[in-house]
């Protein structure tokens, strides 16, 4: 598809939507979760999705990306993963048809080569550094990787006429919201560099949409958690509450630090909205399908619309494991808003997204089972 002039993305997108080779009608049965034990959910969801065949996934060896890759590959898509393995795991690419290329998103020329060679039609962009706390100590690391790296990716897409992207954004773009649950139209005022670095990418996407016709979906995740049968959460260092609590209760770390017990919440600890990673993943496929059928500028929150305090999560882990999580109460961390709860009404209404995991216990149970079955995470560690 050679485009000589004018609006590159728009022109490509027009051709794209009429290209029957590029878009295949598929009907598939997608297991929302594994079948480790009867206590885990084993719901099945039938989907008919109109999405491109050739998808490039950045950060696909990471926690969320690897689970999206699995869903795409199970749906018969040709997936190429780009990951520099700074935080990912080669072993998290489990589908035999998925190609993993070790590359950095800042390497624009390499990205262009890969996109041309692999016939990339759409990008899902997960690659980023994700620690809000660290971002307040090393801001340049986050702006360089998350923001500048994303700009390289967008330039590579523009120069190879790849017109569609689904971007992993975050609840951190809202900062410390005055109202809850948070809707997509609320003010965007990050209170940490991580959130700012992601918001800057949303701005890039918006301008690329306006000027070049890039179709994009920015999905603002709240707290991703849980696991499938084979894939789970293994960040190093780990900073997320559920895996930390599980590691502490299993004796894999001496204790869990509870940061801040004087927040203006019912028990003094932060309140967060937890969303199962399989539900996040299914939203990506729906967003890609919607982009295929529209001019493309989609922004959605992804959460369960229920908040749990840190203490409630810790208690739930203790109950599920049958043993108390050892904790040490300590000072607040900079950049932690007291309450973050999503409204996900928009994506439910517009895309028919329906999370399968609405119970905190089910989510924790899936994470716990994965950890028990993978006590050392991925095998190369
Ligand atoms: N985990 C959450 O709760 C959460 C919440 C909101 C948003 N997000 C966003 O979701 C995305 C995925 O998060 P995750 O939890 O899976 O993180 P992760 O660290 O497990 O995955 C990120 C992946 O990106 C790779 N990567 C990082 N920089 C790269 C670069 N320059 N080039 C190539 N690869 C690179 C890492 O090696 C890793 O495999 C991130 O963009 C994050 O900001 C995550």
pLDDT at 14 over 80: no
Q: How far apart are CA 322 and CA 315, in angstroms?
A: 10
Atom 15 of ligand 1, residue of closest alpha carbon: 63
pLDDT at 64 over 70: yes
pLDDT number for residue 256: 96
In 103-203, beta strands by DSSP E: 122-125, 164-170
CB atoms closer than 10 angstroms to residue 252: 15
Of the candidate ranges 2-6, 119-123, 247-251, the one whose mean pLDDT is the lowest: 2-6
Which of 365 and 47 is assigned the larger pLDDT?
Answer: 365
| Atom from ligand 1 closest to the CA of residue 66 | 16
Quick: pLDDT tens for 182-206: 999 999 999 999 999 999 999 999 9
Find the mean pLDDT for residues 340-364: 96
Fold for 8-226+275-303, please state it.
Rossmann fold (3.40.50)
* pLDDT tier at 80, thresholds 50, 70, 90: very high
CA angle 183, 186, 192 (to 5 degrees): 105
The active-site residue out of 63, 142, 194, 368 is: 194
Distance 130 CA to ligand 1 centre (A): 6
Output the pTM of the full model: 0.88
Atom 26 of ligand 1, residue of closest alpha carbon: 127
Distance 94 CA to ligand 1 centre (A): 18
Ligand 1 pocket test target in 58, 61, 64, 151 with most atoms within 8 Å of CB = 64
pLDDT number for residue 65: 98
Is 194 marked active-site? yes
Supply the DSSP symbol for 97. T
pLDDT at 357 over 80: yes
Q: How many CA atoms lie within 13 A of 73 on its CB side?
A: 20
Quick: pLDDT tens for 241-297: 999 999 999 999 999 999 999 999 999 999 999 999 999 999 999 999 999 888 789
Find the mean pLDDT for residues 130-155: 96
| DSSP code string of 30-67 | EESS--SSTTS---EEEEEEEEESEEEEETTTSHHHHH
pLDDT number for residue 48: 67
Find the mean pLDDT for residues 64-90: 96
pLDDT number for residue 17: 31
Name all residues whose Cβ lies below 6 A of ligand 1. Answer: 58-59, 61-65, 82-88, 104-106, 126-128, 130, 145, 149, 168, 170, 221, 223-224, 235
């Amino acid at each position: 598809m050679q485009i000589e002039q004018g609006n590159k993305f728009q022109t490509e997108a027009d051709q794209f939507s009429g290209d029957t080779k590029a878009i295949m009608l598929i009907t598939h049965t997608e297991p929302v979760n594994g079948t480790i034990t009867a206590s885990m959910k084993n719901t099945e969801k039938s989907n008919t999705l109109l999405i491109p065949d050739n998808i490039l996934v950045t950060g696909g060896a990471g926690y969320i990306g690897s689970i999206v890759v699995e869903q795409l590959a199970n749906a018969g898509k040709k997936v190429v993963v780009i990951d520099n393995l700074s935080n990912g795991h080669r072993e998290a690419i489990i589908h035999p048809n998925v190609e993993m290329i070790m590359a950095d998103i800042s390497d624009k020329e390499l990205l262009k080569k890969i996109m041309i060679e692999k016939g990339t039609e759409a990008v899902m962009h997960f690659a980023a550094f994700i620690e809000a706390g660290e971002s307040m100590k090393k801001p340049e690391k986050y702006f360089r990787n998350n923001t500048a790296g994303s700009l390289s990716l967008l330039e590579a897409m523009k120069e190879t006429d790849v017109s569609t992207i689904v971007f992993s954004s975050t609840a951190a773009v809202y900062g410390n919201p005055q109202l809850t649950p948070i809707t997509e139209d609320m003010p965007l005022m990050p209170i940490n560099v991580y959130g700012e670095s992601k918001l800057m990418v949303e701005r890039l996407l918006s301008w690329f949409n306006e000027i070049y016709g890039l179709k994009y979906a920015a999905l603002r995740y709240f707290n991703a958690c849980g696991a499938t049968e084979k894939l789970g959460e293994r960040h190093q260092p780990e900073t997320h509450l559920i895996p930390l609590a599980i590691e502490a209760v299993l004796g894999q770390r001496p204790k869990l630090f509870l940061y801040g017990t004087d927040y203006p919440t019912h028990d003094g600890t932060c309140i967060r909205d937890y969303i199962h990673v399989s539900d996040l993943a299914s939203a990506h496929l729906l967003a890609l399908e919607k982009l295929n059928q529209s001019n493309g500028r989609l922004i959605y929150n992804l959460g369960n619309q229920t908040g749990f305090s840190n203490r409630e999560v810790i208690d739930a882990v203790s109950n599920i494991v049958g043993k108390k999580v050892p904790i040490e109460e300590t000072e607040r961390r900079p950049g932690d808003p007291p309450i973050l709860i999503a409204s996900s009404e928009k994506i439910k209404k517009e895309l028919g997204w329906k999370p399968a995991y609405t119970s905190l216990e089910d989510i924790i149970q899936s994470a716990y089972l994965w950890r028990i079955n993978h006590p050392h995470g991925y095998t190369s560690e």
